[in-house]
Amino acid sequence: MSTPRESVRAAFVAVLQAANLGVTVYARLPFEGADARSVFLSIVSGTTKSPGVGMYGAGPSGGTGVMGRAVMDTYRLQVDCNFDDREGCAELADAVEQAIWEAHDDLRENHDIHGLQKILDADTLALGQSVRIPVVTREARVILNFTFWTHRQLT
């Protein structure tokens, strides 16, 4: 059984793996640490907006034919990009963003992820200061805001 949080994470991992970034893509930071050239995801916040509870299903123009209920959750996803040098790290962060924006329609249509917004893009650590990775690396961080509908089917 997949939770809404894990299905969101899996959707973004699939997008980044399909982009062939040339680095290891992790769904989350491994306990033993990440590769020096890697990307990993963290969900850093999530809120539920009560006005987002609503009905969905078949309407006059068609639809799924299944009546259900959905809760609108707003998530903040952090993507950490690790690479050997500053230029490579910046290029990796740009490639991550580009892959996500190119997959916008797929994320919306197949995973009910809407309203993608970048809210932070930062070079977070200087050379040699990473505590997450056991080798010398540089890190860039991109944080995205998006809305996700958690569906519940009604009987």
* pLDDT surpasses 80 at 48: no
Predicted pLDDT of residue 96:
93
Number of domains in the chain: 1
* pLDDT surpasses 60 at 55: no
Predicted pLDDT of residue 6:
84
- Tell me the C-alpha distance between 50 and 54, whole Å: 9
* pLDDT surpasses 80 at 100: yes
| CATH number of 119's domain | 3.30.2000.10
- For strands 24-26 and 38-48, give the pairing: parallel
Residues spanned by the domain of 79: 4-153
DSSP-derived 3-state class of residue 80:
strand
Determine which helix (DSSP H) or strand (DSSP E) holds 119, and give its type and residue range.
strand 113-125
pTM of the model: 0.75
